[in-house]
Structures are given as structure tokens and as C-alpha cells.
Amino acid sequence: MTRDPNEGEFSRRDVLRASGGVAGLSGTARMGRGSSLFSQDCPDATREPKMVDCDSATKAGCADDHPRTKELRDEVAAALDDDFSTVGALLEDGFVPYFDLLRGTDGFGYSHWLNPSYISDDTFLDAARPASIMVDNKWWRPLGVMFVATENGEPVDPPSVYGDDEDDEARCSPWHHHVGLPGRYAWWKYQTLYAGGADSGFRLPCRTPCMMHVWTYPNPHGVYAHGPPPRGQRGGPPAEPAGFETEYTPGEDILGIDVVAEELLEHAAATFTPR
């Protein structure tokens, strides 16, 4: 189903803004009815990207060879192979890009894709319904998933990966918040477009909900690392097929907002409307 981008709540500008960066913002800018970008209410806030551990987080018991880690990684790998192997498959399933798709060859060369339906449900650590999928921008290849601790779209305390019965030394709960301006602002824009934030007076948050990575490619910092696998450990050529009709070539053209703008209008804008 194709929707006229000049009709309804959505437009090309809406979609690009939803995936856009934070260029042009200043520390004194204000977001609608929200508070300023930096205030005494958000002491951890920074202009640059920054992550901090969630209150209950610990990596003390996390190990790549732990049975539950192996099981979870295998579940994620199977879901990516079977259901989310291409960018086209992500678009068909309702995933939309986070702000880092604009970075192109900058940063770490990968982007997060969010699924509003999965963020808004009540599942946790479900590889078949991942809140976010990380995609390598060169090879157009899913690298892993990011779980987001939300229930019906609202932040909640995240579960421990190995259960909550272990003592602190055995517990694995590698969840983090984004407190840097890019992540906070991008989450605000996601909420504004897809979760009715513009109508509800949603304010720029001091931090995002708790998030947790599970990488399926070798990562020297572990399956749950904050950062992605090194560029040389992301599978290499041949690139994954696009999975949708495009003039761009995976492996030759960097995956960016210009590549998927039309598809976002057709899939994302036609599927989701603010509540």
C-alpha cells in the first residue's frame, strides 16, 4: 500500500526528521513544551554521545560461554537469518532508522533500526520481536539486536539475562541508558512521530529507556558490548541483497537516509500513525 506523502499526518519531511541528526541544536534550544536540552534536572547529560549503566545493571556474571548467552545469541542469529536478513525485510516488518543512519561513513559505520510495534508490546528478550536491529551500513547486514526495556512503550526496570535469583557476582544485566544529546534527542523524535509524544506534551528525556545489545558477529568486548564488532569482523563481501527495489548497490553504496527515504514513506508512514 503506497501512501501519498502529501496527505495525512506524514510527509517526507516528517520521515527525514524522524531519522535525522541533531545538527543546528544548541544548549539553549527548547523542544516544544519540554525543558531545555541541558538543565540541572539532567546532571549526566552531555552534548556528545554517551552511555551510562542502568541502576540495576551489572556485567559481573556475563560470559560469552554461559549457556544462556549462547542460547540467546543463537536465537538472535536465527531470527536475523530467517526473518530480518535484509534491509527490505526490516522495512516490510515496520522497522525505521534511528538518527545514526545519517552518519554514513562516520562513527562506527552502523545504524540502529527501531520497530515501534515491538517497543510498544510487553515482551522482553524476545529475539523474534526485537525492539531494534543493528545494521552495518557498508554491507547492509544485520549485526545483532538491541533490546529496549519498555512495556506498552513505557520504560520499565529491565530483567536480568540469567534470571534474578543469582547474587551480584553471578548476575548478568548489561543494560545501559543513552544520556548524550544525540541519543536523547533521537528518542524524543521517535516518540514524537510514532508514540503520540507531540500530542501528549512529551518532554526531552534525561535518558533513554534501558537498552541492551546482543551481537552475532565476533566482538572482542563480548556479546553484550556497547560498541559494534570491528569493521573487519562483520562478514565482509559479498554484501547482503537490498531486499527492495533500489538504484543503490549494497557493498558499493553506503546505506543512508537517501537510500531508504522512498521506502520509509511507503512502509513506515503508511503503517504507523501517532496515537
Distance CA 47, CA 45 (A): 7
Residue in the block written with cell 522495512:
91
Cell of 62: 556475563
Beta bridge partner(s), residue 110: 136
φ/ψ of residue 142, rounded to 5 = -60, 135
Contacts of 27 (CB under 8 A, 6+ apart): 36, 37, 38, 47
Q: What is the pTM of this model?
A: 0.80
The residues of the chain scoring below 70 in pLDDT are 1-40, 99, 102-107, 163-166, 168, 195-202, 267-275
Distance CA 220, CA 202 (A): 38
Distance CA 45, CA 57 (A): 19
Tell me what pLDDT residue 41 has. Answer: 78
* Cβ(145)–Cβ(130) below 8 Å: yes
Tell me what pLDDT residue 219 has. Answer: 97
Mutual angle of helices 12-19 and 181-194, in 10-degree steps: 150
Sign of the Cα torsion 88, 89, 92, 94 reads negative
- Compute how many other C-beta atoms are within 10 angstroms of the C-beta atom of residue 17: 12
Q: Across the chain, what does the average pLDDT equal?
A: 79
Domain ranges of the chain: 12-26+35-271
